[in-house]
Structure 1
Amino acid sequence: MLRVSDVSVSFGGVRALDGVSFEVPEGQVCGVIGPNGAGKTTLFDVVSGLRRPNAGRVSVAGEDLTRASALRRARRGLRRTFQRTQVFGRLTVAGNVLAALDWHGGGGGLVADLVGRPARRRLERERRARVDEVLELCGLTALRDAYAAALPVGQRRLVELARALADRPRLLLLDEPTSGLDAEQTARLRAVVAAQETTVLLVEHDMGFVMDACDRLVVLDLGRVIATGPPDEVREDPVVRAAYLG
């Protein structure tokens, strides 16, 4: 589903990513780990289209999206959460999730809105049913009418997750998803990730979560990949232990 090929990014004389290559098979959960400054967030920015690499390619489902905008990648089914939560504070929790579906439009334009065509009403019911489904999955049903700005960081992070899931992404990027979550919310997140059929790429410092949730790991250090493989194998790698886990 995701192929990163020889990607390099430089900031002046600093090489943030240096020839990074790895693949994530469809349906798998892949964790990206490494010490601070290893290049994890830069990698996420490249994959999601917020930053173009100086060299290399990014492909999703066989399509080269290296020069595609973040918007085009979103239209191809890529969704992302952020290390610092990005919610629509003036919308309710349900409104935040519904916003992820509105880009599809309803057909018929303003006239259809005014006369309430049956097809438009059916589509609206389907979207609201999807919102209800995702809110239940993320444990947010009781907060559906609360304004997102009023929520603590852990609940805002779950709202962001629900919004990312609403449109059934093909590739989901989660940037430090457990940050700000309590133990119950982290367990909920783990269950949500496990229940998804989509491909997931996540950056996370919680090693317990990473080892439980991920099928494979990519380890970065100083902008380079130093190990890839199943969590148990990576955990025992002496190079990884020296650079990060030791």
Structure 2
Amino acid sequence: MSDAPGPDTPAVIEARDLTARFGSNTLFRHVSFDVRRGEVFVILGGSGCGKSSLLKLMIGLVPPAEGRVGILGTDVWSTEGAARLALLKRLGVMWQQGALFGSQTLLENVEMPLAEHTRLPAAARAEVARAKLGLVGLSEAADRLPSEISGGMLKRAGIARALALDPPILFLDEPSAGLDPITSAGLDALIRDLSRSLGTTFVVVTHELASILAIGDRCIMLDKEAKGMIAEGDPRELRDHSTHPTVRSFFRREAA
């Protein structure tokens, strides 16, 4: 996209020769890529290819069998103690279903990271949380419970909570999953707007083709059969010019 960060933009994430293995099952091997500051970077592929596992590996939840991940100049898996916690506090994560606490209002959900990781007084935490809800269009829903809002609003609230500590990098796991096309398009627009207005780097895991083309500056594609990465680049370029049969089938919605 025309306003996307260019090739000279510094990388904030560096993944090198990553392999994910669970027992005797290898999901993918030798996956390497960079994520540039301020871009919307998409991890895509069919079901079972290891997209969500790659996300968990990047944010420090699952160790790689091989390889390394550097985020903001720090090696995720060789850093321990206070330094590791300091790094993880600079990452925001929105899980597939929002993962909000059902007994708390949206405002209380967004306040939680602030209560845990800052010394802000209660009034200041509430003010920051309301501001984050405002960023995602949920100012009027601050006092509602998760059970009282729609699926699209749940996703937006999850993004607001991920933004609570002003992290420079946000990870979104299947943000459009389960949403109708209109709601999904609205969420795509929100992600684009936040990326450009805040300068935040987004790493988005999805297999939703419309969302990939709407929000992605660059992407990588994982493949279950190849057990690795089979494409990297601008998703629109891959759609129009890739000669790899699996990549072409994915972007053109053709049966394999």
Please indicate the TM-score interval, normalised by the length of the shorter structure: 0.7 to 0.9
Question: Could you list the per-position Cα deviations for residues 134-165 of structure 1 after superposition, in whole angstroms to 9, with x for gaps in the alignment?
Answer: 21221212211111244343322221111001
**2:219–2:234 CA contact under 8 A, matched in 1:** yes
Question: CA–CA distance in 2 between the matches of 1:66 and 1:234?
Answer: 32
2:234 paired residue number: 230
Which among 70, 74, 81 is matched to residue 88 of structure 2?
A: 74
The structure having more radius of gyration, on CA atoms, is 1
Question: CA–CA distance in 2 between the matches of 1:141 and 1:84?
Answer: 20
1:84-233 to 2 correspondences below 5 Å:
84-106=97-119, 124-194=122-192, 195-196=194-195, 197-222=199-224, 223-233=227-237
**Structure with a larger share of its residues in helix:** 1
Q: Which runs of 5+ in 2 are unaligned?
A: 1-11
Please give the TM-score of this superposition, normalised by the length of structure 2. 0.82
Q: Which runs of 5+ in 1 are unaligned?
A: 107-119
Give 1:80 deviation, angstroms: 1.2
Give 1:12 deviation, angstroms: 2.0
Give 1:11 deviation, angstroms: 1.5
**2:221–2:231 CA contact under 8 A, matched in 1:** yes
Could you say what secondary structure the match of 2:47 adopts? coil
Q: Which amino acid aligns with 1:33?
A: L
Please give the TM-score of this superposition, normalised by the length of structure 1. 0.85
Question: CA–CA distance in 1 between the matches of 2:171 and 2:108?
Answer: 22
Higher relative contact order structure (alpha carbons within 8 Å, sequence separation ≥ 6): 1
The question of 1:32 aligning with 2:43 is answered: yes
